[in-house]
Structure 1
Amino acid sequence: MDWQSAKKAFKNYLKLERSLSKNSIEAYLRDIDKIEQFLIYHDKSIAPLKITTQDLKDLLQWVNQLGMLATSQARLISGIKSFYKFLIIEDLITKDPSALIEAPKTRRKLPDVLTVEEVEGLIAALDLSKPENIRNKAMLETLYSSGLRVSELIELKISNYFPDVEFIKISGKGNKERLVPIGDTAMKHIAIYRQTVRNHQEIKKGQEDFMFLNRRGTKLSRIMVFMLIKDLAQKIGLQKNISPHTFRHSFATHLIEGGADLRAIQEMLGHESITTTEIYTHLDRDFLKQTIKEFHPRN
């Protein structure tokens, strides 16, 4: 079995048996590409089934020398382990060469979080005389209102939008569905966008059910949402390194600060494990200090 055949079989396994999203599958395949790149660079010709533990250790030493961050190395090892687990399941190998490979220790980095005023400042920076910014305002309000991933935002369907009960149905990681509340402000701006912009667009066949569309009448790309947020941050002079995911982090953190139940936030974010959600229990230090000052009996 050569590398192309192995990757094709692995791709089918990830898609059909693990039901992963397109983006997740591509991430796993990029991890396997790294092994190929390492072999090509070192002029080695080793088939996937012949890779040894030492080969994988040499690969990790190589990427480390190239300056790959510990978090990226951990991601790479995870992908490689999944690949060789697949080969074991398919009885293509009997010994897993990645079994003794350990991921480097990584410090858990707390995500950047926007204050409520910063969220409002970013959204207020949109020039609503432009039709695309009427759409963009509806998008950002939806991101912040419901804590969506960027992939969930661009895939949002009109058929999964239920304003009468104030919920949207989301297909998240691994195609797992969840119902997420959506707030009045987001619904108001979605209605404005649909009535004043979307209803007057020529929509490409097959794209009719996507909520947010570009000028060509097709669904938006992830990069377009990233660029929008980066441009707005620059426009208002915001020094934080932000992305669409920052709105998700801010959504969760603001709920925690307001006293929301951690389990409820876990459900809304679509986290499998509560430990993933617990990262949002970090609170702004000024907020904590102020809470102590106001409510501790010795103060």
Structure 2
Amino acid sequence: MTWDEKIKDFEIFLRFERNFSENTLDAYVRDIKKLKEYAEEDLDSTGPDVISYDHLQEYIFTLSKQKFSERSQARWISSIKAFFRFLMEDEIREDNPSSLLEGPKLGLYLPDTLSLSDINKIIDAIDISSDLGQRNHCIIEVLYGCGLRVSELIDVKISNINFKENYIKVIGKGNKIRFVPLAHYTADLLQAYIKDVRSKIKINKKHEDTLFLNSRGTSMSRVIVFLIIKELTDKAGVSKKISPHTFRHSFATHLMQNGADLRFIQEMLGHSSITTTQVYTHLKTEELRDVILTFHPRNKTKIVE
């Protein structure tokens, strides 16, 4: 039995039994391949069936000295734990050497968000007189107006858009399906893009149903969407570090600020657990704290000794 053999089996397990998304699956497999390289180079080719807790602890310690973020370290440990649980289920090992591994204590992660003013600045920076600009306008509006992940955005199919009822059928992580409402404004933009812009493109037969296309008539890549956003952000003079996910965070934050129920936001984002969505309650708490510190009279009152 070799590392390569069990890593391949692990990949199949994650894909077909755990229904991992491609991005998560790639990250987990990549993490275990790094462990394999360490075992082969520093542990005299120790196999996955005999590697010990001490070996794993030393490996994590070695990585932690390379100034990786705490979140990266936490994911390595998550990947390693999942791999050795799989080996136990597959009866390759009787013990789990990763069971006592502890990840770094993570602080509360509050995602970056954009104000409505920032979003409008970015949209105003788009040259909508061009076909490319109209497509990019739609991309920004769907990211923000529907709260989609970038992987979901580039996979949207025209056949999954219901313009009569105004919703998009979205296939998210783990192939979970959710139905996201479309604002009339966003729906009108999409229909105009499909009719006036997309119809001019020579479309690759494999992508006839794909909503957003590149100049070659095929689906867009995640990297291209990142580059579009970076270019527009720079042009708009918005100094925050922005990614496609920032629009998703902004979508959820603005819903929360305007009184939307947390369960509703969970459904819209496609979170399997309400715990993931609860980060937005902390964002609102931070906002309320700032308001109190700025405006509450007691905060301006000094105690006289």
If the length of structure 1 is used for normalisation, what is the TM-score?
Answer: 0.94
Q: CA deviation at 1:261?
A: 0.6
Match for residue 91 of structure 2?
A: 91
Deviates most, 283-292 or 165-174: 283-292
**Which residue of the partner structure matches residue 237 of structure 1?**
237
Letter in 1 for 2:167: F
Q: Which runs of 5+ in 1 are unaligned?
A: none
Determine the structure 2 residue equivalent to 1:185. 185
Question: Which runs of 4 or more aligned residues in structure 1 lie more than 3 Å from their structure 2 counterparts after TM superposition?
Answer: 284-296
Distance in structure 2 (CA, Å) of the matches to 1:187 and 1:52? 56
Matched, 1:48 2:48: yes
CA contact (8 A) 1:141 1:185 kept: no
DSSP 3-state at the match of 1:206? helix
Offset, 1:178: 0.7
Q: Comparing 126-135 with 76-85, which one deviates more in the overlay?
A: 126-135
- Please name the residue that 2:219 is paired with: 219
User: Residue 41 and residue 67 in structure 1: after superposition, are their counterparts in 2 closer, same or farther (change >3 A)?
Assistant: farther
Tell me, yes or no, if structure 1 residue 278 matches structure 2 residue 282: no
SS at match of 2:111: coil
**TM-score normalised per structure 2:** 0.93
Q: Which stretch shows the higher mean deviation, 264-273 or 229-238?
A: 229-238
SS of structure 2 residue aligned to 1:49: coil
2:199 is matched with 199
1:254 aligns to 2:267 (yes or no): no
1:294 & 1:62 partners in 2: Cα distance? 49
CA distance in 2, matches of 1:193, 1:55: 56
AA paired with 1:101? L
Q: Which runs of 5+ in 2 are unaligned?
A: 298-305
1:71 aligns with 2:71: yes
Question: For residues 156-190 of structure 1, what are the alpha-carbon distances to aligned partners after superposition, in whole Å with 9 as ceiling and x for unaligned?
Answer: 11111111111111111111111111112211111
The count of residues paired between Structure 1 and Structure 2 equals 299
Which segment drifts farther, 233-242 or 42-51?
42-51
> In structure 1, how many angstroms separate the alpha carbons of the residues matched to 2:296 and 2:187?
36
Q: Which residue of 2 aligns with 1:100?
A: 100
Structure 1 residue 109: deviation in Å?
Answer: 2.1
Counterpart Cα distance in 1 of 2:26 and 2:92: 22
1:8 corresponding residue in structure 2 = 8
> How much identity, in percent, do the aligned residues show?
43
1:81 match: 81
In 2, distance between residues paired with 1:7 and 1:160?
Answer: 35
Q: Structure 1 288/62 Cα, relative in aligned 2: closer, same or farther at 3 Å?
A: closer
Distance 2:53 2:111 in 1: 34
